[in-house]
Structure 1
């Protein structure tokens, strides 16, 4: 399904505890342009949030001495597969960036129930980061949306989408310039996740190797009148699909399996592996 609610519930005003769900996303279109001077690529994409979620609880304990020079402590507990060191996790980094850039003083505890597969192109890490930002903004009464968006963009390209209110949006720039559009009607979607982790860096490297680097790859504009029929009739394109399918046989098998099961359109999400 393609519907979700990303509201933040404050569970205990006294202890400053908030909970929310962090949805996965699909890229209904993903066009990759030329590499920019900052090392990122120009992108044009359609983001669609879907009803696969991680669950986030954030506790904020305000410092009583008001010492803004004291480094805040950020604690993480994880219910799910190991994701590596805490300080490399996007949720942890989002909390650190929020505290530093807003000047809030205190300690943060993040409890993450991980249900979105990592390395599948579903944006789980970015969604977790946005969920932490939303929770901290709610329980500290921080309302500067421009700064919140700046924090999100500093964490990762997809984070700004998850920080928004719409389930459907157009992403340009490096994917961080978000234009919210009317949500697409709810529709059943089958998501297949083969047992392979696709490295985003490897996917970009392979795509670059398949292109004539002397050419400039300009991107067409994506109109705001996005419809399911248009996407199903060929407007939905992912520039990574052929490359990643060639690199990973299980991705190609997954796409073929969906087609054989009757899917009208099969498409990679992000740089894979989900389709």
Structure 2
């Protein structure tokens, strides 16, 4: 049996640069790992087959889950007949822009590789990861921070500026990634690409200067409840407070744990329908 965690991410920067003829969008982003995490338990079974059980969330048919897609891709590449049961314990909310599904997929790949004596190797694992989704290669890298381009697969990894207190807030409403991109339409590249020195990835002050998210201009009007949440996070001293991914979660990065805790407590008291997570960023 193997038990692994699958941490969420936030995007400290997310700029949509251009749309390819294929329909995919080029982006420039800074991924940041956070402490909020799902857990997977993988066990070998006596009979053949692959089974996934999900606890804590209704994610639809398990056959379509990224965990199953990652596991099937690994076993096919390794030329092994699966005889495994996977239990996924969800804590990262779906549809939040936190990369929960992608992180679960990466954790599945890493766990299966370890359980089977590193049969495929790093290069093949990254190929599989990239085929599963744009965020999956970041989670395979197992680093606190990464500057990424293209569809998210070209990365400069970094140890980051050190952990910082953080609050993540998920509203009851959500906007799908496809809907968010469609709402952008031709309005891409508003922030534009930036010249980001690698050394700046190690400083929260420098990260403040490049923090932004192009999706805010289309997601915040769709979910008005997020605007006062961001204002509250800033009023408690958040150095960065913005949307993550294409939504629908927002986050605040703080210097002081007490300030983060006070913001989280006020949000929980003010709006019972919000999911509020007190965690750490760049871990």
Flag the structure with higher helix content: 2
Q: Which residue of 2 is the match for residue 53 of structure 1?
A: 37
Q: Does 1:193 align with 2:177?
A: no
Q: Does 1:20 align with 2:4?
A: yes
* Aligned mates of 2:197, 2:185 — CA distance in 1: 26
Q: Does 1:219 align with 2:196?
A: no
Once the two structures are superposed, residues 61-119 of structure 1 have per-residue CA deviations (whole angstroms, 9 ceiling, x without a partner) of: 588xxxxxxxx722111111100001111111111111112212222211010000111
Deviation of 1:38 after TM superposition, in Å, equals 2.7
Structure 1, unaligned runs of 5 or more: 1-16, 64-71
Bigger shift: residues 255-264 or 102-111: 255-264
* Aligned mates of 2:182, 2:164 — CA distance in 1: 34
Does the Cα contact within 8 Å between 2:36 and 2:92 map onto a contact in 1?
yes
Q: Which residue of 1 is the match for residue 148 of structure 2?
A: 171
Deviation of 1:262 after TM superposition, in Å, equals 3.0
Q: Does 1:44 align with 2:28?
A: yes
Q: Which residue of 2 is the match for residue 260 of structure 1?
A: 235
Q: Does 1:207 align with 2:184?
A: yes
Flag the structure with higher strand content: 2
Structure 1's consecutive aligned runs of 4 or more residues displaced over 6 angstroms after TM superposition are 215-218
- The alignment partner of 2:70 has SS state of helix
Does the Cα contact within 8 Å between 1:95 and 1:108 map onto a contact in 2?
no
Does the Cα contact within 8 Å between 1:245 and 1:251 map onto a contact in 2?
yes
TM-score, with normalisation over the residues of structure 1? 0.84
Q: Does 1:30 align with 2:17?
A: no
Count matched residues: 247
Bigger shift: residues 76-85 or 175-184: 175-184
TM-score, with normalisation over the residues of structure 2? 0.81
Does the Cα contact within 8 Å between 2:13 and 2:29 map onto a contact in 1?
yes
* Aligned mates of 1:258, 1:247 — CA distance in 2: 20
Say which of 77, 97, 119 aligns to 1:101: 77
- Classify 1:216/1:231 alpha carbon distance in 2 versus 1 (closer, same or farther; 3 Å): closer
Q: Does 1:156 align with 2:136?
A: no
Q: Which residue of 2 is the match for residue 90 of structure 1?
A: 66
- The alignment partner of 1:272 has SS state of coil
Structure 2, unaligned runs of 5 or more: 251-283
